[in-house]
Amino acid sequence: KMSKSKGNVVNPDEYDQDELRLYLMFIGHYFDGGSWDDGKIVGIRKFIGRMSKWLSSANDDGGMININPLEKTIDGYVINFKFNKVVSTFMEFYNNNKNTIPNKTTAKQITDMLVCFIPNFKVS
């Protein structure tokens, strides 16, 4: 619990809104919540940056990545309010595909999915 007298209040103005949103989704199950840790939001910041950079490398000759399993998994987690699993699924997907340059169509589809959860996501 946050308390001004204990000095453990988090000021959301100190964070990018997408980083904050994704971190809140990641720290625990929707109904259980989780513990806030300023140090761990850095990981979310890095993840967003890596995804942006990876998707910006897309070109017409890039590889086709099958995102159907990703979409189905994400949909199932959203229906069950497991937003922490949504974030970890995106992280796993990135880690499994980071060495493949995506084609522009695939990059657009992935970006469209990410924008549902981090609306200001931009490909660098």
Tens-digit pLDDT profile for residues 6-22: 666 667 677 899 999 99
Mean pLDDT over 32-45 rounds to 84
Which whole-number Å values give the CA distances from 29 to 19, 32, 41, 82, in the listed order? 17, 5, 17, 6
Full-model pTM: 0.86
Question: Does 63 score more than 80 pLDDT?
Answer: yes
pLDDT of residue 98 exceeding 80, the answer is: yes
Q: Is the pLDDT of residue 1 over 70?
A: no
Query: Residue 121 pLDDT > 80, yes or no?
Result: yes
CA angle at 112 for the pair 111 and 114, rounded to the nearest 5°:
60
**φ, ψ at 102 (rounded to 5°):** -75, 155
